[in-house]
Structure 1
Amino acid sequence: MKLQPDRLDVQSILGYGPGWIGLGSNGVAEKIERSIVIGSRGEKFDWNCPQFEQLTAAHFDRLAETRAELVIFGSGSRLRFPPPAFLRGLMAQRIGIETMDTLAACRTYNILAGEGRHVITALLIGPTA
């Protein structure tokens, strides 16, 4: 599916499909085929976790370091919730977290980033995600 925001001044997700997302920033588009974290303030780093089953608390602790207002966790092709113990670092920082499948997380990220919110999305992307 191709997404066309009216005009976003932050990095945005331009499109997505099974195993990929299209990321746009400053007029440059990039196809991403690996798990990644992106944020409305320019944050972008690989999230070294190709499968939901490989997630650890350390993955979510890294998200807490961003000090975002909200984290959107895209759990892959289906909705799966991380164990509550993994979220302690986010809760300690009073950072909200929402879990949804990766494609829904892409849409939600664009809406919230477009509203000027400091939002991070952590997306599980890949053939087994």
Structure 2
Amino acid sequence: MKLQPDKSDVQTLTAHGPGWVAINNERVESSVVVGSRGERFLWKCTHFDELGPDHFAQLASLGAELIIFGSGARIRFPRPVWLQPLMAQRTGVETMDTAAACRTYNILASEGRHVVAALLIEEAPGGQ
């Protein structure tokens, strides 16, 4: 039984690997923000240690109902103070590794939810 359409009208995360994700089959090798309402821009950070409050304030300006933070190859949680702008407007935030974030974004976006994935893309081991 087919429960979801074959074609979605929203941007989808079609693949991922160490050091990259693909958005609608276009390979992106930098941290990126992608949203179900067409939002898409590079997120200026290459390592978790570079993240700070400004990165999450930028996400708050998007007005999404949920932010999915893909923290790289492993789960690392943002500091609570970084999330203040999102909490103030009652925007949900979920943290997971980037692979899980890609899958979760696709499901929620295909349901018509206003969801944004902020994906930390760190350089692949060995620089590839």
Partner Cα distance (1:128, 1:90) in 2: 30
> Which of 81, 104, 119 is equivalent to 1:85?
81
Give the gaps of 5 or more residues in structure 1. Answer: none
Give the aligned partner of residue 115 of structure 1: 111
1:104 corresponds in structure 2 to: 100
TM-score (norm 2): 0.91
| Structure 1 runs, 4 residues or longer, greater than 4 Å off | none
Change (3 A) 1:107 1:55: same
Aligned equivalents of 1:128, 1:69: Cα separation in 2: 31
Structure 2 partner of 1:36: 32
Q: Which residue of 2 aligns with 1:58?
A: 54
- SS, match of residue 16 in structure 1: strand
2:71–2:97 Cα contact (<8 Å) kept: yes
Larger Rg computed on CA atoms: 2
> What is the letter of the counterpart of residue 14 of structure 1?
T
Maintained 8 Å contact 2:18/2:124: no
Once the two structures are TM-superposed, the CA of residue 6 in structure 1 deviates from its matched residue by 2.5
Q: How many residues align?
A: 121
Q: CA RMSD in A?
A: 1.4
Quick one: distance in 2 between partners of 1:128 and 1:60?
Answer: 24
Number of the residue aligned with 1:49 = 45
Map of 2:12 onto structure 1: 12
Q: Using the alignment, how far apart are the partners of 1:6 and 1:55 within structure 2?
A: 36
Q: What SS does structure 2 have at the residue aligned with 1:15?
A: strand
Is the CA contact 1:50–1:128 (under 8 Å) kept in the aligned structure 2? no
